[in-house]
Structure 1
Amino acid sequence: MRKNTICLIVWMLLLATATAAPADELLVLDNGQIRIGIDREKGASITWLSTRAYPKNMVNLADPGRLIQQSYYAGVRLDRTADGQHSSWNPWSWNPIQGGGVGSWAVATTFEKRGEVLYSETIPKLWDMPNEAAAARMRQWTSLEPDMPNVVSVRCEFQSMRDEHDRWGPARLNPQELPACYFTRNFANVKSYLGEGQWRTEQQPPGPPWGRAEPPLDAMACLNDANVGIAVYSPASDGHWNFGPHGKAISNDSFAGPCMHVAPLGRLKLGPKTTFRYRYWLVLGDESLISNSLDALIQKYADETIELEN
């Protein structure tokens, strides 16, 4: 039996036993090279990423604030202790989280596989409260990038439906996570992409607070010691990126506390009735494959911006 056939069989067996969520809670795209899954019980956030070279899950799932997910900020920071606000997140702004709030998970209201697209709608939770639904809706379209079998394309839409006279107030300029990404702690080598196969290593001690980087081409990667990992490409970002490790222990456990964080940031005024859309891409593989894929994506999508309706 040929070596590549044996590898493919091993890959398929590993995938058959790796997914923790029941089949009706996890929607998956799998082209034999990469696998991506979204979980109904975690707000349809991305909860699974793996490749044939690395069949374990790359995503950290330790709490509702991890995952790969939509996360936004608006209004003034409020002390809502009397309402049950968590003491660790006080005061805090209006912060709808796709995965859920402190101690509670969001559940997708629409959760469908439409051909080769994973489509979802979610009422997010406010991060600072134990179980408070946000007056908002998140939509997401997750697919594989055409002709790029190691690349995932994610289109996000956020609709704010707050009362125009609520206590968080009118639109203020805030940094938005485009998106918030948490990977397992073994993807500890963080690099900004410079183009044409060139990278810049980024250093940051365990946080938070997170480090700040300014990737010139809107792409950063988290790689393990075998030089395999994930790059995030977010051309809609317009400022620095947050990044860094949490915890010192190197772990490949998706449910462990230690993790790696990357968040492209874009500054915009998110008002009570704002709707906006953007896209980002996840690129999987070794450093060489990621470089080639990023060069192609940058050539095609460098002019992508946020679509904003106020």
Structure 2
Amino acid sequence: MRQQELGGWKAAHECHLGARKGNLVVRTTGGDPYLIASEVPSVSGSLTLEWRQRTKTRGSAEVFWGDARGGFAAERSVLVGYTPGETWQELKATLPVQGALTALRLDPCQGQGELALSWLRLKDATGKLVREWRFTNLKDAEPAGVLPPAEKWAYLDNGKLRIGVKVSSGAALGWLSLSKSERNLLNHWDHGRLVQQSYYGDDDGSIWGNKPWRWNPVQGGDYKGTAAKVLALKIGKTELYAKTMGRNWAGCTDLPEAIFEQWITLKGELAQVKYRLTYSGTHSHASRHHEIPAIFLEPDLDTLVVGGNEAARSKPGWPNEGRKLPEHWAAYVDKDEFGVGAKVPIADELTCYRFGDGKPEHGSCSYFAPLTKFAITPGMVFTYELYLTCGTLSQIRQRLTP
């Protein structure tokens, strides 16, 4: 398929181009949008790419290049952080090019939304301008595609805890705080970053992050930004019920054979959550580990504490690490020992990691998931309970320890 080209750049993946008031407008449709320069100057040595952008879409930018060693690859890329919002920002990436520059690619953000580029400049090691892209001569034209729907939430608050489900992400949990507090401890960066049901089956030919993935029904939505469908939502004073059709994380399709239910009840300082998967498919999947549930937290909660082994505190790295759960609970806390604790009585182990540079605006997060292992087979119904709380570590321990 022919790539759209405008202003010297091609919409190569998960984006559309337009123009508005002298700016190049990039409408992104998935989690990995990128543009490729139509032509690049034949220059050698260290280069600097500078550009001016504005976007509300969260994430970080990344610049890839090709040179004498080869084309676009992780070892020929540079991450650049930015702060999403209404203001223009000038960003810069230093490219240690070896031999002549052969290609240039800009990944401007990491999600669905819209971004404006005012200009881009490529300079050599002396600061001399070798190529500039400006868009003042472009005629206004709206990019194709549609903007993602606005976030929609539903909350419970019993005077001690405030908990919220992100209705626009399959009604999965996306908010946990003290009552009436504006400090949300949960990470809801995208449809994958929530507290949500997530199960795994056999290989289905899907690809995520350039790697083969598998059948993976999740509650929030897929990695390209399409939310799971909420089939029912009932909200009481201290109780909430949601029914959601599973969405295949990497396959990006609805999964009517995987129906999720979620009951949330606030009881003092505890949120009791009952989860249920009802599988009506005809395929029998092999036995695998499942996240019960996946729990994503803000990155300032950086220290993992495991109940029953609290002396062995740690700051997990990337990628996944494993831990045993002797008391079936764990918590992430901040420097003041305030954080989030979660207990799943049927889980004896967990997987965990911390991602990013610690800055929430760059997509950083802390993660853990209690695990269990079973096969998803026709007609099965799987139910479990999660107990969730926030407070100091001593308060978490008291509430989650038998």
Q: TM-score, normalised by structure 2?
A: 0.59
Distance in 1 between residues matched to 2:180 and 2:174, nearest whole Å: 18
- 1:52–1:275 distance in 2 versus 1, CA, 3 Å: closer
Instruction: Report the number of matched residues.
Output: 253
Alignment of 1:297-308 (within 5 A): 299=402
Q: Which amino acid aligns with 1:200?
A: A
Alignment of 1:89-104 (within 5 A): 90-103=211-224, 104=226
The match for 2:241 is 119
Structure 1 residue 77 corresponds to structure 2 residue 203: yes
The match for 2:231 is 109
Per-residue CA deviations over 1:170-216 (Å, capped at 9, x if unaligned) read 24211011110001111001111128xx55303422x2x21111121
Structure 1 residue 202 corresponds to structure 2 residue 314: yes
Distance in 1 between residues matched to 2:340 and 2:229, nearest whole Å: 26
Distance in 2 between residues matched to 1:151 and 1:281, nearest whole Å: 7
Distance in 2 between residues matched to 1:55 and 1:199, nearest whole Å: 31
Superposition deviation, residue 41 in structure 1? 1.4
Superposition deviation, residue 116 in structure 1? 2.3
Superposition deviation, residue 50 in structure 1? 0.9
Greater share of residues in strand:
2
Distance in 1 between residues matched to 2:223 and 2:210, nearest whole Å: 9
Whether the 8 Å contact between 2:302 and 2:315 is mirrored in structure 1 is no
Superposition deviation, residue 63 in structure 1? 1.4
The match for 1:280 is 386
Distance in 2 between residues matched to 1:87 and 1:204, nearest whole Å: 23
Structure of greater Rg: 2
Structure 1 residue 242 corresponds to structure 2 residue 242: no
Q: Which amino acid aligns with 1:157?
A: R
Structure 1 residue 178 corresponds to structure 2 residue 292: yes
Residue from 160, 167, 188 that aligns with 2:279: 160
Structure 1 residue 26 corresponds to structure 2 residue 153: yes
The match for 1:128 is 250
Tell me the C-alpha RMSD between the 2 structures: 2.2
Per-residue CA deviations over 1:80-134 (Å, capped at 9, x if unaligned) read xxxxx44526432221000011211113110111452100100010011234435
SS at the partner of 2:168? helix
SS at the partner of 1:243? strand
Per-residue CA deviations over 1:49-85 (Å, capped at 9, x if unaligned) read 11159631111111111100000112x2232xxxxx4
Residue from 334, 341, 346 that aligns with 1:231: 341
Distance in 2 between residues matched to 1:89 and 1:161, nearest whole Å: 30
Greater share of residues in helix:
1
Distance in 1 between residues matched to 2:253 and 2:299, nearest whole Å: 28
Stretches of structure 2 lacking an aligned partner (at least 5 in a row): 1-148
Distance in 2 between residues matched to 1:133 and 1:31, nearest whole Å: 34
Distance in 2 between residues matched to 1:136 and 1:272, nearest whole Å: 10
Q: Which amino acid aligns with 2:366?
A: M
Q: Which runs of 4+ in 1 moved over 6 A?
A: none
Q: Which has the higher contact order (CA 8 A, sep 6+)?
A: 1
Superposition deviation, residue 281 in structure 1? 0.6
Structure 1 residue 46 corresponds to structure 2 residue 173: yes
Superposition deviation, residue 22 in structure 1? 8.0
Residue from 307, 312, 334 that aligns with 1:193: 307
Whether the 8 Å contact between 1:181 and 1:263 is mirrored in structure 2 is yes
The match for 1:221 is 331
Whether the 8 Å contact between 2:321 and 2:351 is mirrored in structure 1 is yes
Whether the 8 Å contact between 1:86 and 1:102 is mirrored in structure 2 is no
Whether the 8 Å contact between 1:193 and 1:199 is mirrored in structure 2 is no
Whether the 8 Å contact between 2:215 and 2:251 is mirrored in structure 1 is no
Superposition deviation, residue 39 in structure 1? 2.0
Q: Which amino acid aligns with 1:219?
A: W
Distance in 2 between residues matched to 1:279 and 1:68, nearest whole Å: 13
Q: TM-score, normalised by structure 1?
A: 0.76
Structure 1 residue 259 corresponds to structure 2 residue 355: no
Residue from 355, 358, 375 that aligns with 1:269: 375
- 1:22–1:163 distance in 2 versus 1, CA, 3 Å: same
